[in-house]
Amino acid sequence: MTATRPHALAEVVAAAVSAFDKPSARQREILQRIERHAERLMADRFQLAVLGQFKRGKSTLLNAMIGRPLLATGILPLTAIPTFLMPGACPAITLTYLDGRTEREETGDWRGLAQRISGATTEEGNPGNVRGLERVDVEVPSWKSLAHIVLIDTPGVGSTYRHNTTVAEAVLPECDAALFVVSADPPITEVELKYLNEVCRTVSHVVVVLNKVDLVGTADLERALSFLRTVLAEADLPQVDPNIFPVSAIAALDARLGGKKVNLAHSGLGGLESYLGQRLMRRKAELLEASALRNIRAGIAELRSDVELNRHALALPLEKLDENIAVFEEAVKGLQTEQQSLDDLLNGEWRRSIALLDELALDGERRVLAGLDPILHDGTSEEAMRSTLDRIMPDLFDRELRAVVLRIGSHIGEAIAEHERRYLDLVRRVHATAGAALAADILPPPPQDRFIPLKQPYWTTRGLAEDLGSVTRDWLALLLPGKLRERRKLKMLRRSAVAAVGKNVANLHWATRQNIDDNFRRLLSSCRQSVQDSIGRTGDVLASARDRRRTEDITVRDEIRRLERHADRLRKLARDLDSRDADTPSLE
């Protein structure tokens, strides 16, 4: 990579901006977006996001990294607006609104700053983003660990607040690299793995942090790390760093606030910060450029598509345009009715999948209990029965509960694939109808990723020690005769074994239900949006073209020639970006 490459990319953006003398509102938004990426590249402003599911301790981790409890934490989903933390001369907060307004306030009062951040970024302080904020920037002086990095606190995905997930996904293009935070129990869920796949399509380098390690013992931590490594290896995501960093963010924050370096080292945060500061920062320039190049190319592609739509619409004779608009509007009614039917079918399949899960989980529990029955009633000693249970239970759970996971996974995968095909066919027909109305070829968007099942259920790896261990601490049994005491201990052990089965099956049911809901909710939302975007965008272009033809017919030819110049210039810029991408060093 040469020193002139960032300047060359900035020149491409400048050329794109200069090509539009009268940009539409949509074009202006795209141009501002790619300008922002070019400016960040020139300013060497590297952004590291903290991503993950809600309640994994992302905000606590960031508080520990900056050494101040500025970001709100708690038992409920909190962060609703992305927060950008950066080095500054003094503590300050800048609010950027969706309408473009900004408000900046400096303060030396850390508690007051924390309250202002909470009031802007949390669901409690800003429910559903009623304040209309786009982002919050916070300047923090004297933070040593990552002085040349902007840290981004994002809303957690998968909470009850759907807009939090939407905001978290929307901020991904702003990320040059990411910390993906999971917690030790469970180490990763199917929903998180699916989100990680989405992250890796946009972010070039992802470092996985296993948080809340203070909640598990050494043996459980090793099992969690081993499982996490296995899952990530099977996912085969080259963007994910091979190193996993176990951290206790809450212990790290306490250590940093108390100035205890030994405790900070034990928390695991020191090792993570050292790795980021030494290894990641060596790749800072190439990661930042790769992010800018990817986003600028996407913006140029959007501009090209928008210009082509407008050019084709204006080129149609007014009479033909009126006729095509009438045909398009009539077709839209049928397409929207068809979409509603598909929505109803998908919701019905969603309910059937949950019912199937209930049935399979219950059947799995019966099979496990049936497999344990001979052991629980063989009349041996409590010690012998415990030894047999410890040996048999993991294999029994693995066999029977894996069968449940594979069955429900296969069912959902097939169901989602079938419904996705129907939606994609509808989207293609929307685009074909729009193309016919504009006398142009309009390519539909690429299909979304489908259901991704895990290869093994995490709940089978933990063993049953915590579920069965309390049996030996039965002080009342010490007052009974030997035979009665043994019978009591056997009875309690049987009861504990049955309870352990119920607990593990409940864990399976909960995790799989989360995955079912997430997959169906995402598919329903994305397919609806694809159809509505296609209809709305084409309708707007047709209406705008008709208005222009009716009121400014004399200037239409000039406008068409102007759009053709835009299209030609954008094609050249796209080729230029493609050639620059071919010269970009590999990020492996």
Q: What is the mean pLDDT of each run of 10 residues along the chain (588 residues)?
A: 62 82 80 87 88 85 88 60 85 86 86 87 78 86 70 70 56 86 79 84 90 87 88 88 92 88 85 87 85 85 78 78 83 87 88 90 85 74 72 74 77 77 80 72 51 41 38 43 58 76 80 78 77 78 75 63 72 72 47
Compute the radius of gyration of the chain from its Cα atoms: 29
Residue 161, classed as helix, strand or coil, is: coil
* Cβ-proximal residues to 284 (8 Å cutoff; 6+ apart), any chain: 44, 46, 148, 176
- The answer on 182 and 119 residing in a single domain is yes
Q: Do the beta carbons of residue 84 and residue 136 sit within 8 Å?
A: yes
- The answer on 450 and 330 residing in a single domain is yes
- The answer on 255 and 168 residing in a single domain is yes
Residue 133 lies in a domain: yes
- The answer on 330 and 212 residing in a single domain is no
Beta strands in 484-528 (DSSP E): none
- The answer on 353 and 218 residing in a single domain is no
**End of a domain among 263, 298, 333?**
263
Distance in angstroms (rounded) separating the CA atoms of residues 136 and 352 = 42
What is the reported pTM? Answer: 0.64
Residue 313 lies in a domain: no
Taken as a whole, the chain contains a residue count of 588
Residue 16 lies in a domain: no
How many angstroms separate the Cα of 466 from the Cα of each of 462, 497, 503? Answer: 9, 11, 11
* Cβ-proximal residues to 574 (8 Å cutoff; 6+ apart), any chain: 297, 300, 301, 304
- The answer on 198 and 68 residing in a single domain is yes
Cis preceding linkage at 186, omega within 30: yes
The confidence score (pLDDT) of residue 568 equals: 75
For residue 207, the enclosing domain spans 49-263
CATH number of domain containing 236: 3.40.50.300
**How far does the chain reach from its first CA to its final CA, in angstroms?**
15
Phi first, then psi: give them for residue 57, nearest 5 degrees.
90, 25
The confidence score (pLDDT) of residue 79 equals: 52
The confidence score (pLDDT) of residue 209 equals: 94
* Cβ-proximal residues to 31 (8 Å cutoff; 6+ apart), any chain: 16, 17, 20, 23, 299, 303
Phi first, then psi: give them for residue 367, nearest 5 degrees.
-65, -40
**End of a domain among 232, 263, 294?**
263
- The answer on 323 and 256 residing in a single domain is no
Helix H or strand E encompassing 103: strand 102-106
How many angstroms separate the Cα of 263 from the Cα of each of 67, 250, 271, 272? Answer: 14, 11, 12, 14
| Diameter of the chain measured on Cα atoms | 107
The confidence score (pLDDT) of residue 556 equals: 61
- The answer on 198 and 82 residing in a single domain is yes
Residue 283 lies in a domain: no
- The answer on 324 and 257 residing in a single domain is no
Residue 2 lies in a domain: no
- The answer on 327 and 257 residing in a single domain is no
Residue 570, classed as helix, strand or coil, is: helix
Distance in angstroms (rounded) separating the CA atoms of residues 336 and 323 = 20
The confidence score (pLDDT) of residue 245 equals: 94
DSSP letter string, 121-147:
HBTTTSGGGTT-EEEEEEEE-S--TTT
The number of distinct structural domains making up the chain is 2
Residue 268 lies in a domain: no
Residue 207 lies in a domain: yes
DSSP state of 29: H
- The answer on 324 and 402 residing in a single domain is yes
Range 554-563, long-range pairs (CB < 8 A, 24+ positions): 556/314, 559/314, 560/311, 560/314, 560/315, 562/21, 562/22, 563/307, 563/310, 563/311, 563/314
**End of a domain among 241, 263, 285?**
263
- The answer on 374 and 228 residing in a single domain is no
Residue 585 lies in a domain: no
The confidence score (pLDDT) of residue 476 equals: 44
